[in-house]
Amino acid sequence: MAKTTHIAIVPSPWFSNLASALEFCKRLVHLHPDFHVTFILPILESPPQAFKSSLQDLPSNINPILLPPILKHELPPGVPPVVQMKLTVSKSLPHIQEFLKKSFTSKGTPLTALITDPFAIDALDFAKELNAMSFVYIATCATAVSAFLHIPKLDCETSSFGGEFRDITEAIKIPGCDQLQIHGIDLPEPVQNRSSPAYKQFLQLTKRFQTVDGFIVNSIMEMEEGPVKAFRENRTNQSIHLVGPITQTNSKNEEGGFECVKWLEKQPEKSVLYVSFGGGGALSQDQTNELAFGLEQSGKRFLWVMRAPSNSANVGLSSTIEDPLRFLPEGFLERTKERGLVVPSWAPQVQILSHGSIGGFLSHCGWNSVIESVNLGVPLIAWPLFAEQRLNAVMLSNRLKVALWPKMNENGIVVNEEISKVVMSLMEGEEGKEIYKRMRCLKDFVTNSWNDGGSSTMALDEVTSKWRNFNRN
Q: Is residue 192 part of a domain?
A: no
> Total structural domains in the chain?
2
Task: Indicate whether 237 and 260 sit together in one domain.
Answer: no
Distances in Å between the Cα of 247 and the Cα atoms of 59, 125, 126, 242, 369 are 17, 29, 29, 14, 9
pTM of the model: 0.93
Same-domain pairing of 430 and 462: no
Per-residue pLDDT at 168: 83
263 and 127 assigned to the same domain: no
| CATH number (domain holding residue 52) | 3.40.50.2000
Average pLDDT along the chain, 473 residues, taken 10 residues at a time: 89 88 96 97 85 85 96 88 87 97 85 96 95 96 95 84 82 91 91 86 91 97 96 95 87 66 97 93 96 98 95 64 89 97 94 97 96 96 95 96 97 97 97 97 95 96 96 70
Q: Is residue 75 part of a domain?
A: yes
pLDDT for position 156: 87
- Is the bond preceding 379 in cis, omega lying within 30 degrees of 0? no
Angle at 13 between CA 7 and CA 14, to 5 degrees: 115
Determine contact, residues 335/354, Cβ cutoff 8 Å: no
127 and 59 together in one domain? yes
334 lies in some domain: yes
Same domain, 458 and 391: no
**Residue 12: which of 74, 96, 76 has the closest Cα?**
96
Q: Are residues 302 and 384 in the same domain?
A: yes
In the sheet with 403-404, reading across from the earlier edge strand, the strands are: 340-344, 301-306, 272-276, 358-363, 380-382, 403-404
Asked whether residue 352 falls in the same domain as residue 462, the answer is no
In a domain, residue 412? The reply is yes
Sheet holding 113-116, edge to edge: 62-66, 35-41, 5-10, 113-116, 133-138, 214-217, 239-242
The reply to whether 226 and 291 lie within a common domain is no
- On whether residue 221 sits in a domain, the answer given is yes
34 shares a domain with 15: yes
278 and 407 share a domain?
yes
Residue 249 in any domain: the answer is no
Residues 266, 217 share a domain: no
Domain assignment present for residue 311? The answer is: yes
Q: Are residues 293 and 230 in the same domain?
A: no
Task: Give the pLDDT confidence score for residue 252 in this predicted structure.
Answer: 46
Range of the domain at 29: 5-139+212-244+450-468
**Residues 382/405, Cβ–Cβ less than 8 Å:** yes
Residue 371: inside a domain, yes or no? Answer: yes
